């Protein structure tokens, strides 16, 4: 039985392999397993188990070794889960997210934004000037949008995340 009581880890896994997949790995016994044996033991469809395991494998959360039956030529997959790698994966995701927010902040600081009263879309100066500051969706005038609150929010989030990484 896999212990995934951490809600962040559960969420991460659910995004990766779906709630069906989470259900499957929670039913798996610890140690090395053979997919067909588990499928029979816990009564889950073998394709569902394989899909889940290969998805985990792609994300370095599972590994396998193959054994060929010399008589039948049939391949057996012996799987091992490496769910302790999730923390590393989460760290990577966190850093990726932080990079994205920093990029977004640069974009916000480097541009001037325009919107119409109907909030159809948000345009950067270059785009707004191409349509003479008329919203291409509704035809209303485009007015300058102050993004100071947004950039402040981004800066706050970045410093929070930076301090988590630094600690």
CB 114 within 8 A of CB 142: yes
Q: Give the CB-side neighbour count of residue 151, counting CA atoms within 13 A.
A: 13
116 binds Zn ion (CB under 5 A): yes
Taking the least distance from each CB to Zn ion, the nearer of 99 and 141 is 141
Report the run of H or E that residue 79 belongs to, with start and end.
Answer: strand 75-81
46 is a contact residue toward Zn ion (CB under 5 A): no
Binding part of the chain for Zn ion, among 12-20, 46-54, 101-109, 111-119 by CB under 5 A, reads 111-119
Residue (of 139, 96, 95) closest to 117 by Cα position: 139
The region of 75-83, 92-100, 134-142, 151-159 touching Zn ion under the rule CB under 5 A is: 134-142
Stretch that binds Zn ion, among 62-70, 79-87, 116-124, 155-163 (CB under 5 A): 116-124
- For 97, the token pair is 């997210």
CB of 120 to Zn ion, least distance (A): 3
Count the residues of the shown chain that bind Zn ion, applying the rule CB under 5 A: 6
* CA 27/CA 4 separation, integer angstroms: 12
- Asked if 137 touches Zn ion (CB under 5 A), the answer is yes
141 DSSP assignment: B
Q: Judged by CB under 5 A, which of 120, 134, 155, 161 binds Zn ion?
A: 120
Contact assessment for residue 92 and residue 141, using Cβ atoms and an 8 Å cutoff: no
For residue 84, give both structure tokens.
Answer: 């302790």
**Does the footprint of Zn ion cover residue 131 (CB under 5 A)?**
no
* Contact positions vs Zn ion (CB under 5 A): 116, 118, 120, 135, 137-138
């Amino acid at each position: 039985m896999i212990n995934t009581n951490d809600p962040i880890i559960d969420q991460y896994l659910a995004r990766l392999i779906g709630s069906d997949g989470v259900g499957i790995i929670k039913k798996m016994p610890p140690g090395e397993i053979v997919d067909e044996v588990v499928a029979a033991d816990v009564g889950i469809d073998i394709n569902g188990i394989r899909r889940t395991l290969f998805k985990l494998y792609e994300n370095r959360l599972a590994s396998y070794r193959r054994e060929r039956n010399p008589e039948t030529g049939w391949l057996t997959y012996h799987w091992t889960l490496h769910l302790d790698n999730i923390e590393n994966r989460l760290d990577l995701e966190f850093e990726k997210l932080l990079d994205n927010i920093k990029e977004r902040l640069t974009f916000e600081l480097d541009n001037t934004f325009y919107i119409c009263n109907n909030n159809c879309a948000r345009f950067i100066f270059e785009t707004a000037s191409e349509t003479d500051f008329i919203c291409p969706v509704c035809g209303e005038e485009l007015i300058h949008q102050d993004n100071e609150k947004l950039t402040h929010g981004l800066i706050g989030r970045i410093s929070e995340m930076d301090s988590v990484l630094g600690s």
